[in-house]
Amino acid sequence: MASPKNSYDPAAELAGLLDHVAAYNVRPWKLNAGAAALLVIDMQNAFLHPRGAIYLPAAAAVVPRVAALAAAFRAAGRPVLYTRHAEDAGGANAGLMAKWWDGSSPAEGTWDAEVFEELAPRPGDAVIPKIRYNAFMATDLEPRLRQAGIEDLVVAGVMANLCCESTAREAFMRDYRVFFPADGTAAPNLEFHRATLLNLAYGFAVITSCAELAAALEK
């Protein structure tokens, strides 16, 4: 998944990111803690570790906030779900994605495909393998959410402009209220991140922060 990269910290950019979408981020929705789940997208060694094949400095920068948000969800007794993007060797099951990215996505069974140690799932957390941007496609994500009575879905992780945005759009189309933390998601560069937040604020999700979501869980 080679792509234009530069170093930025979504947390340091939070105020500017929220200002960027303020004109469209106007839905008065507040997180319903009793019907909420956290979905952590693809926080794997490939993206988060400096030795990862698709290392994104911005992704590494959001690890502490995503970890704290996951802890807040667990403390509130709310579900935490992870996706893990991994394809068969050679991308045999990846369709056009394998051709688009020239086979550079994480391969099943490799270190790159493992969830980053600082965000390792805890007992009771679900881990959902996926092979497309959209985490609902060919997975059991939706049955898990429906069984748990989820109405509000928080989408965090990487890449904000690919898997996170695709999943957020699909969740909205399936009638989940989507909350998207600007400082809990990361893209290859700030330009992509800003574009994603603007698109989602306009038609699909409430753009928020990890701290605001954690506070809603404590009420």
Whether residue 53 has pLDDT greater than 80: yes
- The single residue listed with the structure tokens 């059991």 is 140
Whether residue 39 has pLDDT greater than 80: yes
Q: With respect to residue 212, please indicate whether it lies within any of the assigned structural domains.
A: yes
Whether omega before 159 lies within 30 degrees of 0, making that bond cis, reads yes
Q: With respect to residue 56, please indicate whether it lies within any of the assigned structural domains.
A: yes
Q: With respect to residue 99, please indicate whether it lies within any of the assigned structural domains.
A: yes
For the entire predicted model, the pTM comes to 0.95
The pLDDT tens digits of the residues spanning 195-208 come to: 999 999 999 999 99
Whether residue 81 has pLDDT greater than 50: yes
Expressed as residue numbers, the domain containing 38 is 14-218
The H-or-E segment that residue 208 falls in is: strand 206-208
Average pLDDT of the segment spanning 110-132 = 96
Q: With respect to residue 28, please indicate whether it lies within any of the assigned structural domains.
A: yes
pLDDT for residue 96: 85
Q: With respect to residue 167, please indicate whether it lies within any of the assigned structural domains.
A: yes
What Cα–Cα distance (Å) separates residue 208 from each residue in 28, 169, 194?
12, 16, 13
pLDDT for residue 87: 86
106 DSSP assignment: P
CATH number (domain holding residue 209)? 3.40.50.850
Q: With respect to residue 93, please indicate whether it lies within any of the assigned structural domains.
A: yes
Q: With respect to residue 43, please indicate whether it lies within any of the assigned structural domains.
A: yes
pLDDT for residue 2: 47
Q: Is 2 helix (H, G, I), strand (E, B) or coil?
A: coil
Q: How many domains does the chain have?
A: 1
Distance, CA of 69 to CA of 107 (rounded, Å):
28
Whether residue 4 has pLDDT greater than 60: no
Distance, CA of 142 to CA of 155 (rounded, Å):
14
The pLDDT tens digits of the residues spanning 122-168 come to: 999 999 999 999 999 999 999 999 999 999 999 999 999 999 999 99
Least confident of 4-18, 85-99, 154-168: 85-99
Whether residue 5 has pLDDT greater than 90: no
Average pLDDT, the chain: 94
Whether residue 1 has pLDDT greater than 80: no
